[in-house]
Structure 1
Amino acid sequence: MSKRLHVGNLSYQVTKDDLATVFGQIGEVLDATVITDRESGRSRGFGFVEMEDMAAEKAMAQLDGQVMNGRAVTVTEARAVPRGGR
C-alpha cells in the first residue's frame, strides 16, 4: 500500500522534481505534485508526495519541520476529500 503525503509551506520556487529529489532520499517516490493556481500557473505553496507506507512514515518523521528553500515545511498524511467538492 502507499500513502499520500501533504507537504505544506513550500517556497513558491519548489518544483515537483525538487520534492521527488528530497523525498527520494528517504524512499521511492511514486508521485510528486506541486499544486498551482489555475489562472496564474504559480505555486500555491503546497503539494503532495506519494510513497510506500514505510517510506511515508519515515518521511513524515524526518522531514516535518525541516527547512527546504528557506522555509520550514510541514509533512502530514493527506486527508481524502470526497469527490464533488470540499
Structure 2
Amino acid sequence: MNIYVGNISWGVKDEDLRDAFMAYGEVESAKIITDRESGRSKGFGFVEMPNDDEGQAAIDALNDQELDGRPLKVNVARPRRPRAESWS
C-alpha cells in the first residue's frame, strides 16, 4: 500500500516518518519529498507498506496525529496523473 503523508514539519526526516509507521507493521520505504534546488522538505511524503491491513491501521491511527508539532494528513496515495506536455 502506498500512503500519502501531508502537513509534515520541516524538521522531520525520512527515518522519523519510518519510525512512526513501523509501530503499525512492516515499512518498505518512507520518503519525504524535497525541493530539487534547495533540498528543503516540501512538507509531504510517501510511505510504502507491503501489507494493506497494516497500512490501513497506520492510516487510521496516524491521520490527524501530531508529529513534531503538526497534525499529519494521512491517506491512501492516489496514482500520479501524467503531466501535460507543454510543447508548442
RMSD of Structure 2 on Structure 1 (CA):
1.0
| Identity across matched positions, percent | 45
Name structure 1 gaps, 5 residues minimum.
none
Out of 23, 43, 46, the residue aligned to residue 44 of structure 2 is: 46
Residue number in structure 2 paired with 1:32 = 30
| TM value normalised by structure 1 | 0.92
Distance, in Å, in 1 between the alignment partners of 2:7 and 2:81 is: 23
Q: How many residues align?
A: 83
Per-residue deviation, 1:76: 0.5
Name structure 2 gaps, 5 residues minimum.
none
Residue number in structure 1 paired with 2:68 = 69
1:38 partner SS: coil
Per-residue deviation, 1:82: 3.5
Residue number in structure 2 paired with 1:6 = 4
Alignment of 1:7-22 (within 5 A): 7-22=5-20
Per-residue deviation, 1:68: 0.3
AA matched with 1:53: D
Distance, in Å, in 1 between the alignment partners of 2:80 and 2:74 is: 17
AA matched with 1:71: R
1:27 partner SS: coil
2:28 partner SS: strand
